[in-house]
């Protein structure tokens, strides 16, 4: 009996380890007595901080630009500051809740900048994206080990928004950062937001667009955005705003 119980416990531990998603777990966990396990919560928080720092380092190493906002207002300020620096007259964004939740449409209207979402016009998103100065998207996952953004296609989430405008701004949440590619593929098949269905396309973005000609001369922004800005929406009081 003891042997069977031990075997079951070992197999259970292995199964839990294989499906572990520390980067996406809630910071509040419950212990065996029904109370909050602050030690486990602290460990998850430390692991997340490590992933955030690693992603930032890898992103900036490939010439991505990193911003950390402590609240929605700060995130909007970053976006409008980028738009102002590029004298943007038109922006296009994904039609997702996050864009509206942080107040971007209102802020763009106040700034006198045309603002379109992928489903807000009878004109295809790709047409707007081709003439937009800035493309704004959310992020589905971010790979800490390479500084790579992962974007899933779908209704209101046109690929052209991240590919055609000369400046791409991506809005990222801390719990979307995962260690690497192996973790990504284990998550995709059971993502309830997409009903577990395979995607028509996944876009992997590692820094601004790069192209090397036949003489191996590297040029940035020929076939895609010249700049990639990632704004971390971190409402933790410890977050430090920077640009």
Q: What is the tens place of the pLDDT at every residue in 100-147?
A: 999 999 999 999 999 998 666 677 888 999 999 999 999 999 999 999
| pLDDT tens by residue, 208-221 | 865 555 555 545 54
Other CB atoms closer than 10 Å to residue 169's CB: what's the count? 26
CATH class of 33-233: alpha beta
Show me where the domains of the chain are located.
Answer: 33-233
Residue 173 vs residues 78, 92, 115, 124, 142: alpha-carbon distances, Å: 15, 20, 23, 28, 9
pLDDT score recorded for residue 187: 86
Which pTM does this prediction carry?
0.75
Does the structure show a pLDDT above 70 at 171?
A: yes
**pLDDT(201) > 50:** yes
Residue-level pLDDT at 23: 41
In this predicted structure, the answer to whether residue 11 has a pLDDT above a threshold of 50 is yes
Rounded Cα distance, 115 and 119, in Å = 12
φ and ψ at 158, to 5 degrees? -65, 140
Location of structure tokens 């720092």: 53
The confidence band for 234, taking pLDDT boundaries of 50, 70 and 90, is: confident
Q: Are 174 and 232 in contact (CB under 8 A)?
A: yes
Per the prediction, the chain carries an average pLDDT of 79
Q: Give the mean pLDDT of 23-28.
A: 41
């Amino acid at each position: 009996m003891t042997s069977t119980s031990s075997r079951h416990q070992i197999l259970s531990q292995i199964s839990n380890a294989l499906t572990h998603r520390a980067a996406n777990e809630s910071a509040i966990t419950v212990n065996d007595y029904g109370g909050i396990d602050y030690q486990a919560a602290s460990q998850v928080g430390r692991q997340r901080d490590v992933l955030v720092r690693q992603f930032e380092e890898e992103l900036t190493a490939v010439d991505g630009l990193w911003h950390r906002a402590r609240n929605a207002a700060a995130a909007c300020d970053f976006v409008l500051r980028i738009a102002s620096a590029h004298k943007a007259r038109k922006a296009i964004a994904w039609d997702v809740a996050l864009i509206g939740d942080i107040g971007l449409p209102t802020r763009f209207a106040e700034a006198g900048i045309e603002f379109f979402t992928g489903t807000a016009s009878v004109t295809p998103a790709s047409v707007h994206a081709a003439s937009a100065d800035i493309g704004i998207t959310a992020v589905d996952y971010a790979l800490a080990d390479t500084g790579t953004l992962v974007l899933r296609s779908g209704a209101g989430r046109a690929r052209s928004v991240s590919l055609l405008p000369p400046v791409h701004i991506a809005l990222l949440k801390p719990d979307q950062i995962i260690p690497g590619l192996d973790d990504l593929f284990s998550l995709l098949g059971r993502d309830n937001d997409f009903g577990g269905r395979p995607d028509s396309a996944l876009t992997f973005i590692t820094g601004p667009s790069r192209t090397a000609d036949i003489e191996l001369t590297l040029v940035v922004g020929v076939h895609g955005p010249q700049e990639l800005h990632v704004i971390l929406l971190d409402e933790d009081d410890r977050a430090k705003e920077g640009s």
